[in-house]
Structure 1
Amino acid sequence: MIDPIPRRMTADVDDDFVVFRIGIRLNKLWKVHEWLPVFLAMPRMLRELDADPDSGLLGYRTSFGIRNHTLTQFWRSFEELHAYAHDADREHVPAWERFVQRVSEGGDVGIWHETYRVRAGDHESVYVNMPPFGLGAATGLVPATGARATASERLGRTGDGATADEDGTDA
């Protein structure tokens, strides 16, 4: 277990990035033979991505429920995420084809995803007494001090809500 960092930290990321959320919903829990192969495809993909530091995957976090399981991934770019998803020589394309052929029409298992492009400066995070988590685990952490002390400052805002560029303080 990783110990909490006993101070205020923020994610150390100054570039654009992508948040990709993907999940599975077990609509019919008793139909293990239908949903288990779909469920087991994701760990294979994650092992493949973990083994390839040039894939563009920065990090990920899983959360499990009774019916719903969600994976949040952080990617360097949409182009790298898209390239992985469409590369027939990687795990995703065959897994998707198996899903479509086997269970997509039956309704026993559902899958979903959401993709968010995050522009540099259009995000903020804070972690207090936490081990590395979420975006901070994917990109690294720095102290939330100085120009990163408040949410407004981490977003490049001034006291009146304008960006530093808009009010001339960053000229």
Structure 2
Amino acid sequence: MSPYVRRSADIDGDFVVFVLGMHVNRWTDVRAWLPVVRAMPKMLAELARQPELGLLKAHSGWMFGGPAVVQYWRSYEQLEAYSRSAQAEHLPAWRAFNRNARRHPDSVGIFHETYRLSAGRWETIYGAMPDIGLLAASRAVDLSSGSTSATRIGARTEDAAPVETP
């Protein structure tokens, strides 16, 4: 049996975490939410074909009652440039959503959260996990048995891992 492996993500410099999703408020109003659902795979495929645009990794799932995507970007400037590019999939989809939202108010909600993370101001741990999240967007490094959240994020230079009690 192999030992329990703990890993952390290792990424150079600053980066961005972008979380976005939708919540269907009226499932019967398919004309309002279906275009939103169809737009995201096109954008993700475009970004996968063009890594120079800055997307490091994206994970899709279900969050806050609807489909969502967590994206890791090399920089905020690249995220913003993509979102505003007339040659990219996003801007036409964004404009279409806004037109549709005026016709079908409150049928579908959208959200996004953008986090600019400075080098060394974050920490991760993945125990016996596949490459997901920031680990998949960066390099994986093995952690020592004494590695703690406080030492990984720089809150303390030394720390003791919790001791198991029988």
Q: Residue 66 of structure 1: CA displacement?
A: 9.0
Q: Residue 6 of structure 1: CA displacement?
A: 4.5
Alignment check: 8 A CA contact 2:151 2:158 kept: no
TM-score by length of 1: 0.84
Identity %: 41
Report 1:85-164 matches (<5 A): 85-104=83-102, 106-145=105-144, 149-158=147-156
Secondary structure at the counterpart of residue 80 of structure 1: helix
Number of residue pairs the alignment of both structures matches: 156
Report 1:52-91 matches (<5 A): 52-64=50-62, 67-91=65-89
Q: Residue 14 of structure 1: CA displacement?
A: 3.2
> What value does the CA root-mean-square deviation take over the aligned residues?
2.2
TM-score by length of 2: 0.86
Partner letter of residue 116 of structure 1? Y
Q: Residue 65 of structure 1: CA displacement?
A: 5.8
Q: Distance in 1 between matches of 2:32 and 2:101?
A: 7
- Please name the residue that 1:168 is paired with: none
Q: Distance in 1 between matches of 2:157 and 2:89?
A: 48
Structure 2: which 5+ residue stretches go unaligned?
Answer: 160-166
Runs (4+) of structure 1 moved beyond 3 Å?
none
Alignment check: 8 A CA contact 1:21 1:113 kept: yes
The change in CA–CA distance for 1:118 and 1:129 in structure 2 (over 3 A counts) is same
- Please name the residue that 2:39 is paired with: 41
Alignment check: 8 A CA contact 2:21 2:63 kept: no
Residues 100-109 or 126-135, more deviating: 100-109
